[in-house]
C-alpha cells in the first residue's frame, strides 16, 4: 500500500519496503502506451478523469511487442471491450534472452508481479478518479500467472480487479487466486492443441488448461495447425508455437469468444 507520509516509498503486501516506481528498478519509460491517445486521463499522459486501467502482460521469452498495435488500439478503442481505459503494456522481460534464463522461474514470475503491483499502485494514486476506477488484467502464457500473483497482492490491501483474463496460461497449483484476491470475473481462454501451455508446469509436472473457479473458454484450433502437427521437420514446431500464440492478440478471437462473457 502507499505510505501516506512518504510519497517516494511503497510497501508491498508482505511488508517489504520498495523504492518508488520512479526509481530505476521500476522505470516508467516504455511501459505506458500513451502515444496514440490510449492514456484516458489521469495516467501517464495527464488528464482529469479515467474510465479504468487495462493491463496487457506478456509471457516468458516474450516482450510487449507480442501485443500487436491493432489489438492495442482495439481493446481500449471505441469498439473494444474496455473502451476509454488507460492502457498499460507491461514489460517484465528484463534483459532479453539471458535474463529469461534466470527469470523463467517461480521467483522470476513473483518478481514480475511485484513490478506490476507497483505500476498499478503508481497509476491508481495519481488521481481520485483513478483510485476508484476499474482495473482489468490480461495475461498471455505465464503472463497470466504474473497477473494472478499481482491480483493476490492487490487483494491483500483491498484493491479489486474488475476482470482477469488469462490466455494460454499454464495452470499450476502454485499460481492460483487466493482467499484475499478480489476478482469480479476470471475468464480463461485456451485451445486443446497447445503443448507449450501444458509444458509450463515445470520440469517434473505438466500444467493444466483450466481453472476451477474461472469461466473457461475453449477456442477451436485452426485446421492448418492441427494438420501441420503430422508433417515432418518444422511442422510440429510451427504448430506448437502457433497454437500457443494465435489467440491473445487476435481481435477476431476476442470478438467471437471473449467479449460476450465480459458483457454478462
Nearest to 248 by CA among 64, 116, 100: 64
The span from the CA of 217 to the CA of 196, in Å, is 18
Q: Which fold has domain 9-262?
A: Rossmann fold (3.40.50)
Nearest to 149 by CA among 197, 184, 101, 116: 116
Mean pLDDT, contiguous 10-residue spans, the chain (264 residues): 31 38 32 39 36 95 94 97 97 68 81 96 94 96 97 97 97 96 97 91 84 96 60 54 91 96 86
Tell me the domain boundaries of the chain: 9-262
pLDDT at 36: 32
Amino acid at each position: 500500500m502507499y505510505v501516506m507520509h512518504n510519497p517516494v516509498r511503497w510497501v508491498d503486501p508482505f511488508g517489504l519496503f520498495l523504492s518508488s516506481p520512479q526509481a530505476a528498478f521500476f522505470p516508467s519509460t516504455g511501459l505506458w502506451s500513451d502515444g496514440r491517445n490510449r492514456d484516458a486521463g489521469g495516467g501517464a499522459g495527464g488528464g482529469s478523469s479515467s474510465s479504468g486501467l487495462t493491463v496487457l502482460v506478456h509471457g516468458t521469452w516474450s516482450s510487449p511487442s507480442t501485443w500487436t498495435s491493432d489489438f492495442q488500439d482495439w481493446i481500449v478503442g471505441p469498439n473494444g471491450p474496455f473502451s476509454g481505459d488507460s492502457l498499460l503494456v507491461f514489460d517484465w522481460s528484463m534483459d532479453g534472452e539471458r535474463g529469461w534464463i534466470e527469470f523463467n522461474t517461480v521467483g522470476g514470475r513473483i518478481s514480475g508481479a511485484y513490478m506490476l503491483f507497483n505500476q498499478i499502485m503508481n497509476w491508481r494514486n495519481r488521481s481520485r478518479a483513478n483510485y476508484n476506477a476499474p482495473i482489468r488484467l490480461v495475461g498471455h502464457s505465464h503472463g497470466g500467472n504474473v497477473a494472478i500473483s499481482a491480483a493476490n497482492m492487490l487483494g491483500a490491501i483491498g484493491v479489486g480487479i474488475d476482470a482477469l483474463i488469462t490466455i494460454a496460461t499454464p495452470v499450476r497449483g502454485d499460481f492460483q487466486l487466493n482467499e484475499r484476491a478480489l476478482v469480479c470475473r476470471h475468464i480463461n481462454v485456451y485451445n486443446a492443441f497447445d503443448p507449450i501451455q501444458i509444458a509450463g508446469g515445470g520440469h517434473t509436472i505438466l500444467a493444466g488448461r483450466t481453472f476451477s473457479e474461472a469461466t473457461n473458454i475453449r477456442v477451436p484450433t485452426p485446421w492448418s495447425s492441427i494438420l501441420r502437427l503430422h508433417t515432418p521437420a518444422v511442422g510440429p514446431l510451427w504448430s506448437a508455437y502457433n497454437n500457443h500464440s494465435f489467440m491473445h492478440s487476435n481481435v477476431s478471437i476476442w470478438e467471437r469468444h471473449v467479449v460476450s462473457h465480459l458483457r454478462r
